[in-house]
Amino acid sequence: MAEIKETILDYVKDEYLDEDDDKEINFDTPLISSGIVDSFSMISLKRFLETKYNIQIPDSKATAEAFNTVNNIVKTVEEIKSE
């Protein structure tokens, strides 16, 4: 679990923050509601999760709430993996 969290957090930082960005992101930082990730750019995060964890995330589960924090994302991934 801890490894997945770290992997996803690293991806989010690399994909969505600029090199000179002064934002700090942790596992509970809002990503969507804070504007760090928007619905347009969320697609790359979804693709990363699907490729990395060999899953398909249906649109019904790729919601703003499910993707709003790293913790929420991990929960969503775990749920889909266990189905």
Partner 1 sequence: MAFNKKERDIFKDELNNIRNAGIFKDERIICTPQDSEIKVEFPAGAEKKSLINMCSNNYLGLSSHPEVVKAAIKGLENRGYGMSSVRFICGTQDIHKELENMLTEFLGTEDTILFPSCMDANAGVFEAILNEQDVMISDRLVHASIVDGIRLCKAQTDTYKHSNMNHLEKKLQLHSDKRLKVIITDGIFSMDGDMAKLDEIVGLAEKYNALVFVDDSHASGFIGKTGKGTHEFCNVLGKIDIITTTLGKALGGASGGCVSGRAEIVEICRQKARPYLFSNTIPPVVVSAAIKVLEIISKNTDRKDKLEKSTEFWRNGLNEAGFIVKDGESPIVPIMLFNAKLSQDFAQDLYNEGIYAIGFFFPVVAKGQARIRTQLSASHEKPQLERALDAFIKIGKKYDILKKTKEEIIEIYGL
Residue ranges binding partner 1 (CB under 8 A): 16, 18, 34-35, 38, 40-41, 43-44, 47
Smallest separation (angstroms) from partner 1 to the CB of 15? 8
Q: Which is nearer to partner 1, 26 or 43 (CB)?
A: 43
Torsion from C-alpha of 60, 81, 78, 73, nearest 10 degrees? -40
Nearest one of 34, 26, 83 to 57, comparing CA atoms: 83
Q: Which is nearer to partner 1, 9 or 45 (CB)?
A: 45
Nearest one of 52, 51, 77 to 62, comparing CA atoms: 77
Smallest separation (angstroms) from partner 1 to the CB of 26? 17
